[in-house]
Every structure is written in structure tokens, then in C-alpha cells.
Structure 1
Amino acid sequence: MNFIISKALQGIKELYNEEVAEGVINIQDTRKEFEGQVTIVVFPIVRFSKKSPEQTAIDLGNYLVDQLEEVTAFNVVKGFLNLSIADSYWLNLFNTQLLHPDFGTFKPNGKKVMVEYSSPNTNKPLHLGHVRNNLLGYSVAELLKAVGYEVFKVNLVNDRGIHICKSMLAWQKWGNGETPDTAFLKGDHLVGKYYVIFDKEYKKEIELLKAQGQTEDESKKNAPLIQEAQKMLLDWESGNAEVLALWSRMNGWVYDGFEVTYKNLGVDFDKYYYESNTYLLGKGTVEEGLAKGVFFKKPDGSVWIDLTADGLDQKLVLRADGTSVYITQDLGTAEMKYDDFKMDESIYVVGNEQDYHFKVLFLILEKLGKTWAKGLHHLSYGMVDLPSGKMKSREGTVVDADDLIAEMIETARQKTEVLGKVNDFDEEEKANLYYHIGLGALKYFLLKVEPKKRLLFDPSESIDFQGNTGPFIQYTHARIKSLLKKANYHTDQTAVAVITPTEVDMIMLLSKYPQELEAAAEAYSPATLANYLYEVAKIFNKFYHEVPPIIKEEDSQVQQNRLNLCALAGNVIKSGMRLLGIGVPERM
């Protein structure tokens, strides 16, 4: 609407003899209860007109109707000037821009961005919390790619540490040599099973020691199991061949299991980093920080940074014995990733319990003079709850990602078959449909909520063919494809002169697709795009039910224009849902 802005600026100059900045003209969509499509907020102009908001709006409205053939009428509601825009403007916009093959596409912008997501531990399967992480990371990466960035998707796997040793030790003690093949379990499930067993046996030992008179803290430290696990970690770090072989074998099981889950979720990575290769990084960065005076050494030899002047606290970056803490390796890993990819931006997709950690990490890198530190961003997201409450990995009460995927597909099958619309589908087509509906419901439900918000996930609520759900949008796409197939559709421009108000609303909404992509990418928020696609699906269904059957329309130009609208709505839905990682079936 730049032509309205420029003419409004000209009008203010002519009407009130005032030169004003472009930012004074605030344009919005007209609210549905008022006539018009475009609204100018007049309040900022009053100080130039020296008149009431209503009189200022009337002056400007009359000027725009007189000067612009695209503006056919106006009405004033307090300080809001609502403009009616000619059908010819919308039809020209539709035919020349929206139907162009490049609509909704962006040229490369020459910038590189890394998105790090998933980052699982290798002592347990992926669960519902990981699912939100993976879906967010994948979709943000796809959005950034869509608007012109060169994107690198990376996964930093936490494959070492005491938690890994707990699973390994429990398998040694109680596994009897079982493998994923002999246990008929995915490898990550098998290893997770022994993580739970360790915790149960560890708790028994703690209770026994407490009964013998030790305190809670003493019992936790002195329990034989935890001492054995700590020794195993030391053996791993010293390169013990037997421990390394077991570690490699069990991690291999987990990686095989993860790959199945990633494939079912539809996410991928360009590069994997492993903490076993990065945990010693960062010591050089600490030495650099000491030399620059960014860090200081305490009498016991430990190295710290004082961030109290920045509203934070003092942070340990190297222990007195010279061993790393998490922040140490994160400093080193950040530098290594930049050296590998030379990206302009790097996004860490990590839950909000790590907000403070990332504030500290980014601030330290800035103080170290890393020019690329300004491009670091923590995409913080809220936890996912279920109607049954919180999840706990050690107690085996998590919602396993694989079980959740299977449940979603099964629920999709049951709900779809009740509708009785797949009787002519073969078994392969049915299976494919149930997968797309089930995963579409799961992904859309988790992505339609702003990342920062904690959410309650209800699987049954997510699979609904009405309302703000993935299946509703998928069904709308299938309805469009069915209509176009019956009409033997092909794209062609038309010369219609008049369209219905709902068709105007559709063109307005669809024209916003590129800016919706940019807004979602800039905010790292798939929710922005998800809710826009819901609006597209809603307005298509309103249009579909308001106009007479398109197939039977006798005016070929009107029919073609309406089919063009349907096709564009279908393309926007398919393209947008793909960026959310959601497939849209051709028929349902």
C-alpha cells in the first residue's frame, strides 16, 4: 500500500502545509465490522492538522478519493479512516503478482546461519520435550532458508558423562548380554531401560545406607553404584579400552535408534558434533581470557569471570584441578563451529531452563572480543506438559517420542475411518494418509504456540478436522486439490471486473504470504506462519461455501478467476505447511 502512503503524505502537505515523515502514516487492515479494506490511523496526523481526529480523517478521506482512482469510498470511525479499495486494484495485484511463479520465493541474501537443535543425551530415547525441540529447530531452519539464508542444521550430541556411565554400568550388571536384536527393542530404548534400572537400584542403596545411620547426602555419595559409575567415567576419560569399547557399542545402538525417530519426525542435520570430541575444548579460550584480563584466577587456581557489573554473578570457567565445566566446552565449541562454517548468525534451540547459561555464554564471548558473538541467539522454548503432568526420565515416566508418533498415527486412523472417506484407498495409500494426518496434528499443535510459552499437549485434541489444527488445514488442501482436479484446472489470467467481498479478503490475505514468511523467520517463530495458514484455510472454506458451485459456473472468466484463487490458496497452504515440516495429502 505504498501508493496510499505517498499520496497521504502529499495530502497532508497540500491540506495542512506540513512536510511529515513516512512513519507518521500508520496503515492497518480494516476491522471486519467496518466497511473497507485499509485503515489509516489519524491520531498522529492531528498535531499537523490542528483539527479533531474525525475532521482530519474526513479531510484526508476526501483528498484520497479525489486523487486516487483505486480509493472508491471512505468512512470514519473516531480517529480511524477506513478506505474502500477498488476491485480492479485487487484483481490487478492478483493477476500480475500473486499468480506469478515466483510469488512467495526469495533470492539468496548472501548470509549464513547455523541452527543447532535436538542435542540429545545418549542414555535415553527422545521424548516429547525433544519432539518440540526438533520440530522448532527444523522449522526455523526451513523458514530461514525460504527467505534467502544459507542454512546449516547441526546436532551437538551429549554422548559422554556420568549419565552415560549409569546406563553402561547397569547393562554390565543386569543386562546379561542382551542387544537390541535379542531384546526386540530399538537401541535407544534398550539403553534407556538400563538408565531407569540404575536409578531404581541406586535408590535402594541410598535407603539401605540411610537405615544404617548415614544422612541423605552421605548416602547419595557413598552408594556403591554411584561410586562405580564415577570410576567408570574416570576410566573412560583415561582411555580404558574395555570401557571405551562398551561406550562405543551402546552409543552405536542409540544412534541407530535416534535415526529411526528422526526419520519418522521428518527432521535432518547437515553435521553432527559429539561432546566426546568437544569436552576438552575451551581451555585455550580460558588462557586467552586470562591473558586479556577478561578472566581472573583465584588462590586455589580456579578461573572465574566477574559479571556482577552486567547484572549477573561470578562464573567459574575452569576448576582448580584444571578440568572443564560446561561453560568451558561451550566456549570452545562455539569457536569451533564458527571456524567450520563462518556463519553470520548461530541459533541455539534449547529449553528455557538454560536461559541464564546462554546469557553468560554470549556475554563472555563478547567480552573476549569475538566479533561473531553478536550473531548468537538462544531460541528459548517452554516445556511441554501432558494432562497427566510432568515427565521424569529417571523414573521412566517420560512420553517416548516413538510411542507418541505411533499413538498419533493410530488415532488418525481411527478418526479418519469413522468419517468413511477412505474406502477406495488401497492399504499403502491409507498408511501414508494416516502418517501425514497423525504427524501433521502433532507438529501443528506444537508449532502453533509461540516458542517461549509452556504448552499442554493433548493428543486427542490435536487430531480434529475442525478448528485450529493440522488436520483441518490438511483437509482444506485436499478439498482444493479435489476441486481443481474435477475442473481440469490450468492457470490463466482473467478479465473479470467485479469480485465478491470474500474474494477481496482472500486476495488480501494471500498477498501477505511473503511478509508472513519474513516475520516468522525474523522472529524465529513458526507459530506466526502456522496461525496465518489457519486463517488461509478458514477464508477458503468461507469462500467455498459462499459462492455457487465453481464447477457449474457458466461465466468462464468468473470460473477461471475463482479456480485461480483456489489454486493459490492450495499452493500457499502446501508451501507453508512444508516449512513447518508437515505434509499435505492430495486427497483425504
Structure 2
Amino acid sequence: MKIEDKIVSSVISGLKALYGQDVPEKMVQVQKTKKEFEGHLTLVVFPFLKMSKKGPEQTAQEIGEYLSANESAVAAFNVIKGFLNLTIASDTWIELLNEIQADKQYGLTEATENSPLVMIEYSSPNTNKPLHLGHVRNNLLGKALANIMAANGNKVVKTNIVNDRGIHICKSMLAWKKYGNGETPESTGKKGDHLVGDYYVAFDKHYKAEIAALMEKGMSKEEAEAASPLMQEAREMLVQWEAGDPEVRALWTMMNNWVYAGFDETYRKMGVDFDKIYYESETYLEGKEKVMEGLEKGFLYRKEDGSVWADLTAEGLDHKLLLRLMVPLCT
């Protein structure tokens, strides 16, 4: 029995003993005690003044004395005007916790055919580096929320949207191709996601060195970034990937599989799982078609470098990049 129910039952008995009156449960108002007062639960005594024919303080005092003498759940009480503040005995809390512990289904509601369908998406990593602390937070919150929703009788689908393509993926691929000397997770003893992440860092290191060298020759930073041979190679690799180049696709598949194996190991250690995984590489063409449609209808605009943007300033936002490169759609 819930503690509140025990108190309500004892108050009803007390009113009968003290004032000879039978009262319905709905007349007994028990609520959490305000934090500025001592106690756990508070009984509102104003509804009982007519039957007690006494003031609120005296009525609360009499009921409090009755409960203290006859209800083991009440360890102490205090009266604040027309409110009776009750302190619940420690043994009662322990008894309640033991009941909860013994009930394996406590608080759980089974889903039915008519239960709401809820999708919860979490993790959403990129396949060019390991999961980081932000992913840990995201994963644990996502799994916890999924568990809570399922425990409340919802049909839950846990999903993960993986960003497995794009210029950032090509950066780690190009760096491995240039500087990797055939390294693999097996040959290095590293988790696959960590190994690929090392090459993403290596790309950035060499890219910055190129920028510095070009700037020493008199270029501005913007000019150097635009002229970087390494970045141009990465962009060309992305174009080749979108064109379905067999060699580039094979490299992409190999390195992504290294990353997935590393991710799976981390997910297992965290106790995180998914019902459905969506890959950007399987959905980006549909998204690109929508971008092209928006461009044709004038909702979007294209810059000189071929990228496509949305102007959201009218909504109080910024300009949003939607498509980096204007390359033919793959079929």
C-alpha cells in the first residue's frame, strides 16, 4: 500500500474515533509538505472543522495526536495553522522500498497494439573519428529515455542516423591513402574508429602546414585555403565517391567497416543498442533532389563556388549551407 493511502485510511479512522463522522476518501487531502516546513506529507484540516466544532489548530493537533498514537507510519507531526505536517517513520520508507524491490514489474506498463509508437534517435556519429564525450552523454540520455518511454507502455523504436559520407569522411580516407602505409586495426592493435580518427587528425595537420606555406608566399588565408592541393584532392575524392568510383568506394567501405566495429565495441560496453540504423549514404540522394527542387523553385540560392544555401534571415536565423558541391546526381 502506498504511504499516502495508509495515511488517508488512518485519518478516516481517526475522524470516526474523534468526531463520530464517516468521511469519503476524496474529502481527505494529503499533499507533499512545502520545503520550508518540517515533514513529508501535509493534511489539510479545514474540511473537518464543522465536525470537530473547533479551530483549525486544535483540530489539526487532535488528529495529529491520534495518528501519532495509532499509525506506525507517522513518527512525528507539527501544526501550521490549518495544516497538519506529518513526518513519515524511517521503517515505513524501508518497507516501501523492500516492496518495490520485490516487485519486478513495479512501475512498468506493458505495450499493446494500441500503444503510441515513439521513435527516439540518438548517437548520430560521423565515421571519420571515434565517439567523444558528447556522444557518451547523447547515448546514455537516449537509451535512458527509450527505457522510460517503454516502461510507460509505449512502442519504442531506437534509431541511429550515421553520417557516413561527405568531405569530412574523404579527409580521413585521403590521409590514410597518402600516409597510412597500409595500416589496419589488426596491424596497429587500435580500435578501428580510433585508427580512422588518427588519419582525420593527420589530414588537418598536413592541411594547416600547406596553408602556412602558401601564406608565406604572400597569399591571404582565404586564398591559401582555396588553393590548398590537399583540400582539392579531398573534394575530388568526394566527387569520385558520388560518381561511384570503384576504388574510392572500396576504400570508403573498408574504413567505414573499421569504424563500425569500433563503434559497436563502445556501444556494447555502454549497454546501448538500436532497432534501426539509417545511413546518410543511403538517403542523401533523396535529400539532394529536394535541394535541387528548392533551387529550381527559387527557395534556395547558389554561390559562385557551386554550393547551395538557404537564406533563413527572415526567420531570425542565418544562411544555412545545404549542398557543398554541385556534382551530377548518381543513379
- Whether contact under 8 Å (1:170, 1:198) holds in the other structure is yes
Q: 1:198 to 1:82 in 2, by over 3 A?
A: same
- Whether contact under 8 Å (2:119, 2:158) holds in the other structure is yes
Q: Residue 522 of structure 1 aligns with which residue?
A: none
**Aligned counterpart for 2:85 among listed residues 82, 87, 97:** 82
- Whether contact under 8 Å (1:180, 1:190) holds in the other structure is yes
TM-score by length of 1: 0.42
Q: 1:246 to 1:136 in 2, by over 3 A?
A: same
Take 1:298 and 1:257, find their aligned partners in 2: how far apart are those partners? 38
Matches for 1:91-490 after TM superposition, within 5 Å: 99-100=102-103, 102-108=105-111, 110-282=115-287, 297=299, 304=310, 308=314, 312-313=316-317, 316=320
Q: Residue 62 of structure 1 aligns with which residue?
A: 62
For structure 2, the 5+ residue unaligned runs are 20-25, 50-54
How far is the alpha carbon of 1:276 from its aligned partner?
A: 0.8
For structure 1, the 5+ residue unaligned runs are 16-21, 50-54, 324-588
Take 1:318 and 1:182, find their aligned partners in 2: how far apart are those partners? 39
How far is the alpha carbon of 1:140 from its aligned partner?
A: 2.1
Q: Which 10-residue stretch deviates more, 271-280 or 69-78?
A: 69-78
Take 1:125 and 1:85, find their aligned partners in 2: how far apart are those partners? 50
Take 2:97 and 2:185, find their aligned partners in 1: how far apart are those partners? 57
% same residue: 47
SS state of the match for residue 107, structure 1? coil
- Whether contact under 8 Å (1:7, 1:64) holds in the other structure is no
How far is the alpha carbon of 1:178 from its aligned partner?
A: 2.2
Take 1:181 and 1:95, find their aligned partners in 2: how far apart are those partners? 50
- Whether contact under 8 Å (1:25, 1:41) holds in the other structure is yes
Q: Deviations over 1:456-512 (max 9, x none)?
A: xxxxxxxxxxxxxxxxxxxxxxxxxxxxxxxxxxxxxxxxxxxxxxxxxxxxxxxxx
How far is the alpha carbon of 1:165 from its aligned partner?
A: 0.6
Q: Which has the larger Rg?
A: 2
Q: Deviations over 1:307-339 (max 9, x none)?
A: 84xx6336658669988xxxxxxxxxxxxxxxx
Structure with greater contact order relative to length (CA < 8 Å, sep ≥ 6): 1
Take 1:304 and 1:5, find their aligned partners in 2: how far apart are those partners? 64
Take 1:211 and 1:307, find their aligned partners in 2: how far apart are those partners? 37
Q: 1:185 to 1:76 in 2, by over 3 A?
A: same
Q: 1:242 to 1:286 in 2, by over 3 A?
A: closer
Aligned residue identity for 2:186: D
Take 2:119 and 2:203, find their aligned partners in 1: how far apart are those partners? 37
Take 2:130 and 2:172, find their aligned partners in 1: how far apart are those partners? 12
How far is the alpha carbon of 1:205 from its aligned partner?
A: 0.5
How far is the alpha carbon of 1:305 from its aligned partner?
A: 7.3
Take 1:247 and 1:259, find their aligned partners in 2: how far apart are those partners? 18
Q: Deviations over 1:67-125 (max 9, x none)?
A: 99648674224675312568998899789887555434333361222221111111112
How far is the alpha carbon of 1:166 from its aligned partner?
A: 0.7
Give the count of matched residue pairs.
297
